[in-house]
Amino acid sequence: MLMNYLKIAIKVLLRRKFFAVVSLFGISVTLMVLMVVSSVLDQAVGPRPPASERSRILGIYEAAMSGPRGRSSSSPGYLLLDSFARELPGIERESFFSHEDPVTSWVDGRKIETQLKRTDAAFWRIFDFDFVEGGPFSDQDDRDGQFVAVINETTRRRFFGKRPALGQEIRADNQTFRVVGVVRDVSMLIELPFAEMWAPISTMKTTQYRHEWLGGFQAALLAGSRTDFDRAREEFRRRLTGAQLPDPKQFDTLTSSLETRIDRIATPFFGEVESRSALFRLVVVGAMLLFMLLPAVNLVNLNLSRILERASEIGVRKSFGASSRDLVAQFLVENLVLTLIGGALGLLLSLAALELLNVVGPLPYAEHRLHPRIFLYGLALAGAFALVSGIYPAWKMSRLDPVDALQGGR
C-alpha cells in the first residue's frame, strides 16, 4: 500500500509542476536560511576549538566606575582584573589579555596589518589552539619579557609565504618578535581568543597598564563546572563592592560581572537580568519556529486549492471503495515526499551558501559548516509542519461526498 501511495505522490507532483516548484522553493530556502543562521550562532556561542570548553568559560568583558561626578564604562583594566579576578572560588584557571589591536609591519615594501593580542601564558591552558608549528610561549617567557610570538597561518603566509615560520622574526609595532608557534586561523566570532598574533603581556611598551582600572583588557575564567558559576560571580561582586578607588570624590563605585558568551550577546537586548541567556534562547527558538511556520501556512493554502482540482479523482476513488483513512494517508504521504525532496534541495543549497560565505563572507576567518544534527532537526521540523499542513486539507478531502466530488466539488 505504501509503495502505491509513493507512486501516486510522485505522479501527482510531476503532473502539478507549478505547485511542486512553489512548495519545494519554500521548504528548501527555509532550511537553507536555518542552516546559515545556526552556523553563525554555533561559531558565536557553541563549543568549538579553540573554545571547546566554552560551556565552562566565563568572560569579563565590561566594567564601569560611577560616582558623584558621573559614570565611565569600558572594557576592564589590568589593575581591576589583577586585584579582584584572581583565585575566585570554583575557578580552575584565569587568563588576562588585551584586546586585539592592529599593528603595522613592512615587508619588501608591502604594508601588512596584523591584529595583535597580548596575553599571559595561562591563555594557552584555557583555549585549545591547534598548533601546526611549534607551541605556545611559557610563563617564564612572560615573566622575562621575551619578545616571542604565536601567529596564525594567514600571518605566516603573509610574512613568509610557504616557508616555515618557526624561529623567524616579525617586526610589528616597532618591536621585533621571534615566532615560537603557528596556529590555525581563528574565527572573529570566537571573540575572546581571536587574534592573528599573540605576544606576552610583558612586551607592552610601557607598564602603565598595570595601574589602570578601566580600558584595554578582558579576562577568561575556566570554571570546574557550570555549577561553580554562581559562586564565582557572587565572590567577584563582593570583592568589587569593597574596592578602594583613588579619587572617591569622582568615582566611588566599581562594577563588572562574569558573563557567559550567550550573556554577552543577550545583554544589549535584555539588559543585565539574570535570565537574559534563557530569554535569548527562547527568542531564537521562537523566531526559527515562526520562520518555519510561514511555509507551512503556504502549504495549507496550496493544499486546499489542490482539493478542488482533484475533486473528480477523489470521487472516483471513493466510488470504488476507498476509505477516508486511505485518502488521508495518501495525501499525507504526498506531503512527506514533497518535504523530503525539498530537504534534499535544502541540503544542497545550504552547502553552497555556507561555502560562499566562507569565501566572500564579511567576517575574518569565519568557518561556516553544515551541522548534520541541526539539519536533521530542521528536516524533522519541516516534516512535522508538512504533516500539520496536510491534516486539515486531507480531512476535508476525505469528507467530500462522492456525488459532489464527481461533479467537481460543488
96 lies in a domain?
A: yes
> Are residue 94 and residue 187 in the same domain, yes or no?
yes
Q: What percent of the chain has pLDDT over 70?
A: 80
> Are residue 29 and residue 88 in the same domain, yes or no?
no
The pLDDT of residue 84 = 97
> Are residue 115 and residue 140 in the same domain, yes or no?
yes
Angstrom distance (rounded) from CA 327 to CA 324: 5
Mean pLDDT of 98-110: 94
The pLDDT of residue 169 = 97
> Are residue 177 and residue 84 in the same domain, yes or no?
yes
pLDDT tens by residue, 283-294:
888 887 777 777
Give yes or no for residue 8 having a pLDDT over 60.
no
C-alpha cell at 361: 563572507
The pLDDT of residue 386 = 65
> Which stretch of 63-72, 126-135, 309-318 has the lowest confidence by average pLDDT?
309-318
> Are residue 215 and residue 149 in the same domain, yes or no?
yes
Q: What percent of the chain has pLDDT over 90?
A: 48
Mean pLDDT of 97-120: 95
Q: In the listed set 228, 258, 288, which residue is the last one of a domain according to the structure? A: 258
Whether the predicted model's global pTM rises above the 0.85 cut:
no
Q: In the listed set 230, 258, 286, which residue is the last one of a domain according to the structure? A: 258
> Are residue 282 and residue 384 in the same domain, yes or no?
yes
Cα dihedral 188, 189, 193, 194, rounded to 10, equals 0
> Letter for the amino acid at 300?
V
C-alpha cell at 380: 524533522
Partnered with residue 96 across adjacent β-strands are 219
Helix (H) or strand (E) holding 339: helix 324-360
349 lies in a domain?
A: yes
> Are residue 37 and residue 90 in the same domain, yes or no?
no
Q: How many folded domains does the chain comprise?
A: 2
91 lies in a domain?
A: yes
Mean pLDDT of 191-203: 96
3-state helix, strand, coil in the chain (%, to 5): 55, 20, 30
The pLDDT of residue 366 = 80
> Are residue 99 and residue 19 in the same domain, yes or no?
no
265 lies in a domain?
A: no
pLDDT tens by residue, 341-386:
888 888 888 888 888 888 877 777 888 777 777 677 766 766 676 6
Angstrom distance (rounded) from CA 98 to CA 192: 10
Say which residue the cell 568615582 belongs to: 251
> Are residue 179 and residue 225 in the same domain, yes or no?
yes
CB contact at 8 A, 281 and 2? no
Range of 346's domain?
Answer: 2-47+278-406
> Are residue 249 and residue 298 in the same domain, yes or no?
no
> Are residue 228 and residue 311 in the same domain, yes or no?
no
Which of 259, 134, 265 lies closest to 198 in space, CA to CA?
Answer: 134
> Letter for the amino acid at 290?
L
> Are residue 100 and residue 76 in the same domain, yes or no?
yes
pLDDT tens by residue, 315-330:
666 666 666 677 677 7
